Amino acid sequence: MPSSQAERQVRSFLDHLAVERGASPHTLGAYGRDLKRYLGFLKERGIDDLGQASEIEVSSFVAALQVREADQVALSAASATRALAAVRSLHAFLTGEGITKDSPAAEVHPPKLGRRLPKALSLDQMQALLATPDPATPTGLRDAALLELLYGTGARISEVLALDVDEAMSLLAEPDAGLRLFGKGRKERIVPVGSYARAAIEAWLVRGRPVFAQNATRSSPALLLNSLGRRLSRQSAWQVLHVAGESAGLAAEISPHTLRHTFATHLLDGGADVRVVQELLGHASVTTTQIYTLVTAEHLREVFLSAHPRAR
């Protein structure tokens, strides 16, 4: 149980995120970790009530995150910015609830971020990755379904792992049906699913999933299972991509977001409108999606520099 006033205030905020705003367990975990750091920082300064925190404490906390200490690794500017966002949301909540008078984090600026373009695989690399699972084994069928879903829909890993068998069966029953995904804040969207992903899902349901399902002590509705018949975890899914990347001979580390980036970049390379890609990815703002146009522009520049005789 929370012992200090500050810990109780954070718990009220996290409960608000979970109940009122429908935040996912992943989001709650990230907020919880960042706010635990914040409370530890304040505690060292003798503050155990968030109403006592000032703008100086918040600014100092953000700066301290980027300094390496004996028991703490320095965070990147992006991670420090994320932590500041959690602190801002916390104080905004306390102010809105009338628990504190104003927010000490409102005027604190995040550290400057360098422009970091998403990593995307080339078409040849993507095809090599998709060819790595062994279709003769249940594990290979499952891994193929996972990879085809991630690349074929651009879905977040949390969205794919949350899928149940019933949703997959509804998709396969109708040739033109889309797949229903629930993104951040449980926002729903429908995405089309191509023939390759459909075939991979069907093969897994028919020849792979029953093998894993029989190992379960209790039946699971999940589409993707581990060998014990339980819903596939994020850690296991990351491992699938890591192994596939090594098998495909790809030097860069492959993550679920790599496939999401690749999905968006290949659509834009093929002439898709950025607004369409925005809807498919489930981005609230087209500004978020427009970073992928920078990837495409960078690709065009690389091709120009390598192919044109008077480019250099």
Active site residues: 156, 184, 257, 260, 283, 292
The whole-angstrom separation of Cα 41 and Cα 34 is 11
Q: Cα Rg for the chain, rounded, in angstroms?
A: 23
The label of the residue with tokens 């339980």 reads 230
The CA-atom distances, in angstroms, between 209 and each of 141, 170, 225, 227, 240 are: 8, 17, 7, 9, 16
Tell me which residue of 151, 175, 169 sits closest to 245, measured CA to CA.
Answer: 151
The whole-angstrom separation of Cα 37 and Cα 6 is 12
Tell me which residue of 154, 184, 160, 186 sits closest to 257, measured CA to CA.
Answer: 154
The whole-angstrom separation of Cα 156 and Cα 60 is 34
Tell me which residue of 236, 242, 262, 265 sits closest to 254, measured CA to CA.
Answer: 242
The token pair at 25 is 């367990």
Tell me which residue of 260, 298, 228 sits closest to 121, measured CA to CA.
Answer: 260
Cβ neighbours of residue 149 closer than 8 Å, sequence gap 6 or more: 155, 160, 163, 193, 197, 200, 201
Cβ neighbours of residue 79 closer than 8 Å, sequence gap 6 or more: 65
